[in-house]
Amino acid sequence: MLIVCARCRTTNRVPDSRLAEAPTCGQCKQELLPAAPVALDDASFDKVVAKTELPIVVDFWAAWCGPCRMMAPAYEQAAAKVAPGVHLAKVDTEAEPEIASRFAIRSIPTLVAFRNGREIARQSGALPLPQLMQWITTHAQN
């Protein structure tokens, strides 16, 4: 399957059977599916979301948002639990206001699940780990 590197935006082809073996990017040698949320920006967002053939969940957040900071540790834990089947990412809405406005993000944190570049689910408001895991596995897991 195709996985776009969030760091250098290179498209990598990874055999399904090797997904769990910590595949690295052919270009920059970084881990393609790290067990922590990857930050997406204006340069990487469209390509990673549209071309990566794994379900992707994006956390729209900001540093000034208390509930976002509260959910961050749970989101990190969730990323470790769902890797490598689901790719967890985050977008800093203050640094990337265009992405947030394109997706009409009205409140943060907002989670958006994508599959093949299309939004399939959305959730606004912070969730504790069990509910977060349930939401991710319901909407994004294969």
Contact residues for Zn ion, defined by CB under 5 A? 5, 7-8, 10, 25, 27-28
**What span, in angstroms and rounded, lies between the C-alpha atoms of 135 and 142?**
13
- Contacts (Cβ under 8 Å, ≥6 apart) of 76: 36, 37
**What span, in angstroms and rounded, lies between the C-alpha atoms of 41 and 44?**
5
End-to-end Cα separation, the chain, in angstroms: 13
Shortest Cβ distance from residue 12 to Zn ion (Å)? Answer: 8
**Closer of 35 and 129 to Zn ion (Cβ):** 35
Shortest Cβ distance from residue 22 to Zn ion (Å)? Answer: 14
**Closer of 83 and 105 to Zn ion (Cβ):** 83
**Closer of 5 and 113 to Zn ion (Cβ):** 5
Cα four-point dihedral sign 112, 73, 98, 94: positive
Shortest Cβ distance from residue 44 to Zn ion (Å)? Answer: 10
Is 8 assigned a catalytic role?
A: no
Q: Which amino acid is at 104?
A: A
Q: Active-site residue among 5, 25, 28, 68?
A: 68
Q: Active-site residue among 5, 8, 25, 65?
A: 65
Which H or E element spans position 47? helix 45-51
Is 65 assigned a catalytic role?
A: yes
User: What is the set of active-site residues?
Assistant: 65, 68
